[in-house]
A and B are shown apart, each in its own frame.
Chain A
């Protein structure tokens, strides 16, 4: 079942680099490099890729928090707010702050640290509400919080606990509940299930899906675990060396992965009932401060051709909603690579 919906968050040729001063010489880490995304309303958009490929940096940029040493080098970010598209990188700090509070929320990696260890969960909630909600509706919001906690299947008395009294999975679910409290239109989650046990991970995924279904909002979810993507994402973008190299519906990505990198990501996963030798992606990812010429995957790719060493392929569109930047697939729109 698919509903045609509007784009809620869009980037155009987004470039965000870390500009570092290393003993007088400049080092540039191209963490987000010419990224074009169009994320829809009412969808869970997954972003996958190896660690160090720029996923967290991309999320920070999408959240419109680009602070030194990270710099916006080029491109635009648009949110659709009240039926109108707004370019958000050029807003004033105050306008940016207000959007972040009311419109988009962020669950950072290792978000268990979001909760203040010396405060009861209730007090963390109160602090959050005090900084986000006008005086007259705070009491009401706290009541809402209590109701939401029960609805999401968390124990009611959790508000009276300290973070250290809860398991890691429980803390993670509290943080997610808090980030959903004000019904943001967009929620961004950075590896919210990584390092959790499978059963707890399943509980967290269940909760994210539940929130999305209730709020009918957009969730942008980063994880390197393709199994998690298969379970939650409607569409998936595969990131490699600061670029989106393939994007499609979840079914397209799993049934017909076209980029050799995507194929490695999927085929290297172990499967029950099949003990066949599985190879991980050969070699290691390139340094984003010293990218190879041409396609950044070519040094690890088993199918490298001459042209792959020369220039970055543009996107080909093998199917509706499916795009891939690889010289093997087609000619692409050259020079306009994402």
Chain B
């Protein structure tokens, strides 16, 4: 079956520094993944691992250095703006930066109605807006004429989801949509993603560093580290039985809401981000508790342990290699 989204060997490089001391960062390094319809797929990893860069390229906001992106089998080109904005919508981290504080929030909705000719009359428009707002637990009545600062962060994030839904997208790309909201409101947002998937068949590319909500909502997950996908599979497989030492570190570092389960060992934190990006061999070698000599020299291959992709020398010989 045709995939809703297919990303193949996507690479993005940035040149940093002055002309003399130029360094080239491979922010995204030949990553491949796909998404099915009505699926929540998570891209997880700590800040500066290439999540936003990937999202921006899939959204057509940035150009890839190399690689292919297929939307329902059709290649994405930067010129196909129309298709991109209709089928794919985005939600960002800070809902307060999505809306201009001097504009009423409803004006954005009417603008979308007008740009996409979604309704013939104002009454029809209001009905449509109300319908979208209701799917996120709000109503037109409690929102009309208000400015962004009259809403809480959680409400505003739900409003930005309703706005994304206006054009009936097949895919929503949500870049850290819960990292600015309270733990208690996080669940309201991720429950909404579940509802969109189950009731409207919408797929969500959920970008986060919060593995607990990722486990809760998503079907499959890819763990990124410094531009690479280091582990990918179903959330059950990846998060309940993590194989890559980096996934294990992430999993162990989530504070459990259980005072009897606190950490006993100490953790090694990252060196400067760019040092890790520029590292030869495995990028995680500098912090890996299981590091071997070859990790510092050789880039690990994509190995399959069962259905799970693991990019780690530890699994060399124990599994099959990438089918490609």
Chain A positions near chain B (C-beta within 8 angstroms): 50-52, 153, 165-170, 195, 197-203, 205-206, 224-228, 230-231, 250-251, 254, 264-266, 268-273, 275, 277-281, 284-285
Contacts and interface: CB of A to CB of B under 8 A. Distances in A.
Contacts of B77: none
Given A199-B249, A231-B263, A266 B187 contact: no
Contact of A206 (B47, B180, B216, B263): B263
15 contacts: A51-B181, A166-B272, A168-B47, A200-B46, A200-B269, A206-B267, A230-B261, A230-B262, A264-B184, A268-B187, A270-B187, A272-B215, A275-B215, A279-B191, A280-B184
B184 A225 contact: no
B273 interface: yes
B187 A202 contact: no
A271 B212 contact: yes
B216 A275 contact: yes
Contacts of B154: 284
B239 interface: yes
Given A167-B273, A206-B267, A254-B259, A195 B187 contact: no
B267 A203 contact: yes
Given A166-B272, A231-B256, 10 more contacts: A50-B185, A51-B181, A169-B270, A170-B269, A203-B269, A226-B183, A265-B184, A269-B183, A270-B187, A280-B185
A231 B213 CA distance: 19
Contacts of A278: 187, 191, 216
Contact of A50 (B184, B266, B273): B184
A224 B180 CA distance: 11
A197 B48 CA distance: 10
Contact of A230 (B184, B186, B255): B255
Q: Top 8 closest A-B pairs, CB basis?
A: A227-B255, A197-B46, A270-B216, A280-B187, A202-B253, A198-B253, A280-B188, A250-B259
B51 to A, nearest CB: 11
Interface residues of B, number: 47
B131 to A, nearest CB: 22
Contacts of A250: 259
B269 A199 contact: yes
A167 B254 CA distance: 20
Contact of B263 (A153, A202, A224, A277): A202
Nearest to A250: B259
B253 A199 contact: yes
Interface string B87-119: 000000000000000000000000000000000
Interface string B116-141: 00000000000000000000000000
A233 B212 CA distance: 21
B314 interface: no
Contacts of A273: 240
A271 B183 CA distance: 13
Contacts of B270: 167, 169, 199-200
B317 to A, nearest CB: 29
B257 interface: yes
A197 B209 contact: yes
A273 B239 CA distance: 9
Nearest to A169: B269
Contacts of B47: 167-168, 197
Contacts of A280: 184-188, 191
A167 B48 CA distance: 10
Nearest to A51: B182
B159 to A, nearest CB: 13
Contacts of B256: 227, 230-231
B155 interface: yes
Given A169-B269, A202-B267, A272 B187 contact: no
Interface in B211-253: 211-213, 215-216, 239-240, 249-251, 253
A217 to B, nearest CB: 20
A199 B265 CA distance: 13
Contacts of B188: 280
Contacts of A198: 46, 209-211, 250, 253-255
A16 B80 CA distance: 56
B258 interface: yes
A225 B183 contact: yes
B169 interface: no
Contacts of B262: 230-231
A281 to B, nearest CB: 5
B153 A51 contact: yes
